[in-house]
Amino acid sequence: MLRIEALDAWYARAQVLFGVDLALKRGEVLAMIGRNGAGKSTLMKAVMGLATAKARAITFDGVGIAGLPAHRIARAGLGYVPEERRIFTNLTVAENLETGRRPARPGVDAWTPARIFELFPNLAGMQHRSAREMSGGEQQMLAVARTLMGNPKALLLDEPSEGLAPVIVDAMADAVMALKREGLSIVLSEQNLRFAGLVCDAAVVLSSGSLTYAGPLRPLLDDHDLLEDKLGL
């Protein structure tokens, strides 16, 4: 679904990623694990055309997207929820959802507010509430929901469980699993291994901008020494 080959990327003048390869299968949920500063957010921004980068190839659903502007990558069906969420706090929940709406692709059930509220029941009673009045967890749900309104084929979620209460983390895990059952492909950047263990099939590990592991997630969860070695601890 998404394939990255030999990706280098920079933050300002500093090189952050060094020859990273990544492959996301159709319908897979892939955890991207690494310490702060490992390059996880930069990788997602590079894929979305939001960071200075070069790569041998970046293909999405069989089409090359390297070098395309962000709006064309989003239009191709790759959704992105950044760590900072970027919802419109001066708008209501319903208005935020409308800002993300895009036409449905042929043969695909369009995301509507009704479907969103089935996925995130917590948002159902907040349609007319200002996003400014929402908790951090509710804002995270709204950020994901707004991106889904664009009817993406795949999602990049940057630290979706960061700073959330355990009950909200569980609700987010339920939502990710529901999206997986619908066939959506997802890359999520995570430091919360409990959350990753609930939803992910496979994992890659980044350490100091380089890929140190690619494979099943379970060995990393079961072997703390292996995890620390791959994280560069």
DSSP letter assigned to residue 92: B
Q: Which domains does the chain have, with CATH numbers?
A: 2-231 (3.40.50.300)
DSSP letter assigned to residue 74: H
> Which pLDDT score, from 0 to 100, does residue 83 have?
87
Average pLDDT of 6-20? 95
> For strand 202-207 and strand 210-216, is the pairing parallel, antiparallel, or unpaired?
antiparallel
> Which pLDDT score, from 0 to 100, does residue 177 have?
95
Phi, psi of 24 (to 5 degrees): -110, 120
pTM beyond 0.95, yes or no: no
Place of tokens 């996880």: 40
Q: How far is residue 86's CA from residue 79's CA, in Å, rounded to a whole number?
A: 13
Diameter over CA atoms, the chain: 49
pLDDT 10s digits, 115-171: 999 999 989 999 999 999 999 899 999 999 999 999 999 999 999 988 888 898 999
Closest CA to 6 of 61, 46, 63, 51: 46
Q: Helix (H, G, I), strand (E, B), or coil: what is residue 150?
A: coil
Residue 200 in this model has a pLDDT that exceeds 90: yes
pLDDT 10s digits, 55-99: 999 999 999 999 999 999 999 999 999 988 789 999 999 999 999
